[in-house]
Structure 1
Amino acid sequence: MMRLTMILLGVDFLRSHWRGLRRFGWITLIAGVVIIVDALDGSLYFPIQPFACLLLFEGVATLMVAHSGMGGQRVLRYVKGTAFTVAALLILAGHHHGNFVLSMIFGLLFLFDGALQIASAVVVRYRRWRPALWGGIVEIALAIFFFQPWPTHYSGTVPYCLGLGLAFAGWNLFILANRVKNAAENPGLKGTVFMEEAAHLPPDVVEWDGPPSDDEKALTVHVWTPVGSAAGEAIPRPVISRYIAAVDRNGVISTGHAALESPGGVYISLYPAELIDQSPDEFARLLRATPENNVPGLFQPDYATEAAKWCPSTRQVRIRNYSESRLKAFWENYRQNESYNLTYRNCSSSVARALEAALEGSVGRLWHKRGFWMAMGKLMSTPELWVALQLRKRAETMAWTPGLLLDYARALSMLADPRPTGWLNTTGRALKKMLQRRVAWGKGKSGEELTED
């Protein structure tokens, strides 16, 4: 969370508010610890029922306006609304059964995530795989804690989860404050800091109704999905084909491809200079992100050349709020190394790093006039931030793939080019549109009457 927050808000924007961040982090951390301790003795002072009512209200309100979202935003609203509503109903159901079901759900989530993190750390051996291994072990320990009834026979499930969430959030904010205090630059820029604004953006605009139109200046992420780029008919494997690789009827593996194109002429598309043997036996060996698996790479010149040699990209994500200067600074440094690694330095990881460099400070640039805490609150309350964090975690602990990059780019596009997400905001916009249509209808009716006269 810390790195992505630094990227989206910008180190220059955060540095002047590091004291407030640290104080808020301490308050949140202490509140989380107090809630956890309060739940351990079985005598709860935390207001469970009012909290559940607020959760239910937010969940139902989100479901009511979820249809007004666009694309992935609509799906996220339905997921958020459903999750909040189900959790609130289980809390309000109370007694043993509701708390037991919640405990099992949280335990399974921690168990699955911890096991996946341990497995990927052992197999891929990426940088910092040992801390990630210990993190997975901690998650499994938390899963066991939720599975067993001690010490409150499941009645403390909600306070435990809320307390853990607040404690981890507070600790992350505390670390973030210390990092931005001492940081001289954003980690995605590697040596260059710019204070420039996105000059192509309209002034005082903080939200858009949808993605950029075809004639707008926008950064474009091109994705060739594994199924869409397979040489033959792919065997139906929904999750694997979507996020890892597709296998055709002849057993040939297709991992897809990703590239990034900017209106300023930057095109980032990394290929291995020679075709890598992707047979099942060799593919398992190449999964390790170790230096011995590095091979010479080749950057493609532009999208038109690449599409002509192969095929057009199957999916595109366009983002208007980006910095061309930051992207060019990243590209000048990144292109000096043309090595390729299937898991650590591939086409998707190259685009992900370039995208983060281009979006550095994008959220802070939009919201800085409305104050630091407004910008921070807007970022933290957007569901796409959580989605981007989870996708980034999976990609960094396993490998960036075109499928993961596609969803990551979509989530970041909704953070950099925000759409209305809150139910109150959306309802207000809906009422405003209804009023505008009513006024337009009234004018049209008056015009018809004048014509008849």
Structure 2
Amino acid sequence: MTKPAKDEKAKLRRGFGRLVALGVLLVVAGLVGLVYTGVATLTSMLLFGWLLLIGGVVGLLHAIEGRGSNFFWLAVIVAALNIAAGVVILKSPDAAADALAMFAALLFLTAGLFRLVGGLVVRGPQFGLTLLLGAFDLLLGILVLGSWPSSSQYVIGTFFSLALLFDGLGLIATGFGGRRIVGMVEDASGVGKAGPGDASKPVQAE
């Protein structure tokens, strides 16, 4: 194997190793968030607010740079709405969490009803699974809505922590899978290579 190829494979292994390390951090953060859901809710809302605020400022700057375009005022309005939403969330994260929890509950209720009705009407090959998912969404929406607004203290944090957990597990699986593939390529590249002393000697004629 040539030296450049070895260097490339070493870089790939280090890159996949970083993915595994990042995945472990996300998994730990997700597990901590599931234990301290109130802190996770507040953290997620503050992060969401800052993302909206920064995104709105960047969008406004881009709109000003391209003010000669036909969508200038639309871009300005969207950026202003993002900035306003970010400021409101950062100023009142608890009220924003209440609103998002209400929105999540209504979303689960709507999705559950659509799945149940659609499953009963269509009766496709996934009929049982569709009804099960619809009933689960409906039950989750009822539970969140039934204990609202107190449920907002843990609903958003739980969803945020679960997202971190599953993203971390995905990164860990990708990192280990990538390192394994690199190792298999290295093993395959070394198979069938003859050493310097393995060449057969020519037969001399008598």
Q: TM-score scaled by structure 2?
A: 0.51
Q: Max radius of gyration: which structure? A: 2
CA distance in 2, matches of 1:148, 1:49: 22
CA distance in 1, matches of 2:109, 2:142: 8
2:166 is matched with 168
CA distance in 1, matches of 2:181, 2:77: 38
1:54 CA displacement: 1.9
* Alpha-carbon contact 1:62-1:77 (below 8 Å) kept: no
Equivalences, count: 164
2:28 is matched with 30
Q: What percent of counterpart residues are identical? A: 18
2:85 is matched with 86
5+ residue gaps, structure 2: 1-8, 183-206
CA distance in 2, matches of 1:28, 1:175: 13
1:28 CA displacement: 0.7
1:103 CA displacement: 0.8
1:60 is matched with 56
* Alpha-carbon contact 1:62-1:81 (below 8 Å) kept: no
Alignment of 1:232-381 (within 5 A): none
2:6 is matched with none
Aligned AA (1:58): I
2:202 is matched with none
1:51 is matched with 47
CA distance in 2, matches of 1:76, 1:120: 40
1:378 is matched with none
CA distance in 2, matches of 1:123, 1:83: 42
Q: Deviations over 1:156-189 (max 9, x none)?
A: 44433422322232233234335545669xxxxx
Aligned AA (2:60): M
CA distance in 2, matches of 1:161, 1:88: 23
Aligned AA (1:26): V
1:123 CA displacement: 4.8
1:149 is matched with 147
CA RMSD of aligned residues (A): 5.0
CA distance in 2, matches of 1:164, 1:28: 10
* Alpha-carbon contact 2:98-2:149 (below 8 Å) kept: no
1:100 CA displacement: 2.4
Alignment of 1:105-254 (within 5 A): 105-113=103-111, 119=118, 123-125=123-125, 139-149=137-147, 152-181=150-179
CA distance in 2, matches of 1:132, 1:183: 37
1:80 CA displacement: 8.9
1:81 CA displacement: 8.0
1:31 CA displacement: 0.6
Over 3 Å counting, the alpha-carbon distance change for 1:153 and 1:88 in structure 2 is farther
1:190 is matched with none
2:153 aligned counterpart, secondary structure = coil
Q: Deviations over 1:41-96 (max 9, x none)?
A: x577955775365234224214414645x99xxx999879856853662453245x
Bigger relative contact order (CA 8 A; separation at least 6): 2
* Alpha-carbon contact 1:29-1:171 (below 8 Å) kept: yes
Over 3 Å counting, the alpha-carbon distance change for 1:124 and 1:87 in structure 2 is farther
CA distance in 2, matches of 1:111, 1:20: 40
Deviates more, 1:43-52 or 1:22-31: 43-52
1:155 aligned counterpart, secondary structure = helix
Q: Which has the higher helix share?
A: 2
Aligned AA (2:172): F
Over 3 Å counting, the alpha-carbon distance change for 1:167 and 1:108 in structure 2 is farther
CA distance in 2, matches of 1:117, 1:28: 32
Over 3 Å counting, the alpha-carbon distance change for 1:136 and 1:155 in structure 2 is same
CA distance in 1, matches of 2:154, 2:132: 26
Q: Deviations over 1:86-130 (max 9, x none)?
A: 3662453245x543222111223344455556747975547xx87
